[in-house]
Amino acid sequence: MRGYTGVLIGNLILAAFAGLAGPVFLVVAYVARVEGAAWFWVAGAAGIGAVGTAAIPFAAVRSARQEFPRITRRDRAGRAGDTRPAYGDDTSVVCAPRSPGGLAGARLVRADVREASFVRYSPEGGARFTTYGGDHDPAEFKATVGLRLWVHDGEDTGRGPAGQGPGGREVTEEVQVPSLCLSAVTAGRLAVLVDPPDAPTPGKVTVLWPRSLLLAGTRTCRVVDLDGRVTDVTRYADRQLEQMRISRSVGGVVMDGDLIDLRRLDAATAARYAAVARDVTEQRAPVTEPGEEARRLAEFLPGDEASFGSVPRRWSRRGGHLVLGRFLSLRGRTTFQDHGPVLDTLLRVRPADGSPAYDVVRRLTVPMNYLAVLHHTRDVVLRAGPNGRSLVVDWARTNLLAGVTTAQVIAPDGLGIPLPRRSEALWPLMNLLVAHGVSNPTPVLDLREPRMHAVSDAVREMIRGAGVRVDETEEALHDRLG
């Protein structure tokens, strides 16, 4: 596992080669002075050389910080001059690129994703960072996905067992999905515009990606009433659709974090919003619509491979441990890597010793396979240094905890016990392995291996305690686990 020191040394060497002109000018200045050249030539060469040489370590530190997801005390939120709003633990603010406005007569309706298939994703940035001037949503860094949609053309979105509402129709097309909006496809609920019959392309469907994040529940949504009362409308799909229609009809409603504050709107618009928010007849939609396996894209998207994680020996011996964090805010930028966008994040860290949680602000490259399941979880696994002064985002463990792939335990008799995605057993298992200094850079724990003997009994006990279900009788499971 490559550490921050290794990344810094590597970048220092690269910066030294790139800034070789600085030391060369210092040598030239020295030679000129020895040879008795005019003072202004010596001073000019020395000045250029000093600036160029001093820039080398600064460039190395800056590039290492961008490349390595390390969090230090300087990243803590709440410092003087910090005007960010205070967010609750259940807040999720995802600021994605804007969608096309669509035709004036287009209707805003819901579309259910029946099936999603990965088509292609082929940027040419490699491991380097690619920045676009003013382009927040470049096509190069979008995955092309084939969607089979059921579009609810009727006003009523009531759905039967087959997921078909009155006036609905099936649409199949390929679309480019912004990486921040991949979870809307997995969740299975999209907000779309349908062109009117008199349009050049009647019936054409255009996905509104940021609004789809709201409909999917990836982004929380609350309404502050005129009397200050807060109503949570997250995953109330019908109410959210009606709010979107109101917003579209009045030319857009400004969002403040995860809130729509009616006290900032004109009286007529506020009254329309309040009436929708007070509708309590609707049932909250599920986290994901039935048939998620037909929509899962995480296995095909780039990002760190999910695993129980490696344990550096020196880090483990000195008291290194794991810490959980949770994303409260993700904001898109104009910089990308092939395996994910660079985002401005607000992360709440919960120290393992039970001390109060604190927030950190950090610019991170977030893997696309993690973003595809963001509607399920926003938890992040962090490796804490022995002295507690620095944290490192561990994407391999984070992806396993988030359910990017399924974990498995191989019992001593050789039979496999699959752990459900996002199983309660995953987090204690990760901590158990770290406490015993056992690396397992795969999503499979094979208890037959000699290095697992020290933790085998504890692993089996944790699986029992988590109530893992398998396709066999409880007696057979007990026999397999010993």
Prediction pTM value: 0.84
Q: Of the residues 277, 294, 311, which one is the last residue of a structural domain? A: 294
Domain membership of residue 34 (yes or no) is: yes
Bridge-based pairing of strands 259-261 and 222-224 is parallel
Do residue 120 and residue 183 come from a single domain? yes
Question: What's the pLDDT at 10?
Answer: 58
Do residue 130 and residue 258 come from a single domain? yes
Do residue 162 and residue 279 come from a single domain? yes
Do residue 47 and residue 101 come from a single domain? no
Q: Which residues contact 425 (CB under 8 A, 6 or more apart)?
A: 419, 462, 463, 465, 466, 468
Domain membership of residue 391 (yes or no) is: no
Residue 285 is given by DSSP the state P
Domain membership of residue 366 (yes or no) is: no
Do residue 60 and residue 102 come from a single domain? no
Domain membership of residue 329 (yes or no) is: no
Do residue 10 and residue 157 come from a single domain? no
Domain membership of residue 354 (yes or no) is: no
Residue 162 has pLDDT above 60, yes or no: no
Q: Of the residues 294, 313, 348, which one is the last residue of a structural domain? A: 294
Total number of domains constituting the chain: 3
Bridge-based pairing of strands 407-410 and 416-419 is antiparallel
Do residue 36 and residue 121 come from a single domain? no
Query: pLDDT tens-digit profile of 186-200?
Result: 999 999 999 998 888
Q: Say how far apart CA 198 and CA 201 lie, in whole Å.
A: 8
Q: Which domain holds residue 148?
A: 97-294
Mean pLDDT over residues 175-185, rounded? Answer: 96
Q: Say how far apart CA 192 and CA 46 lie, in whole Å.
A: 62
Pick from 19-33, 65-79, 450-464 the range whose average pLDDT is largest: 450-464
Question: What's the pLDDT at 61?
Answer: 55
Residue 159 has pLDDT above 50, yes or no: no
Tokens of 148: 């089979």
Question: What's the pLDDT at 472?
Answer: 41
Q: Which of 193, 190, 150 is nearest to 170 (CA)?
A: 150
Do residue 124 and residue 225 come from a single domain? yes
Domain membership of residue 309 (yes or no) is: no
Domain membership of residue 161 (yes or no) is: yes
Q: Which of 207, 191, 209 is nearest to 94 (CA)?
A: 209
Q: Which of 187, 406, 192 is nearest to 296 (CA)?
A: 187
Q: Of the residues 294, 313, 339, which one is the last residue of a structural domain? A: 294
Do residue 122 and residue 53 come from a single domain? no
Q: Say how far apart CA 367 and CA 237 lie, in whole Å.
A: 28
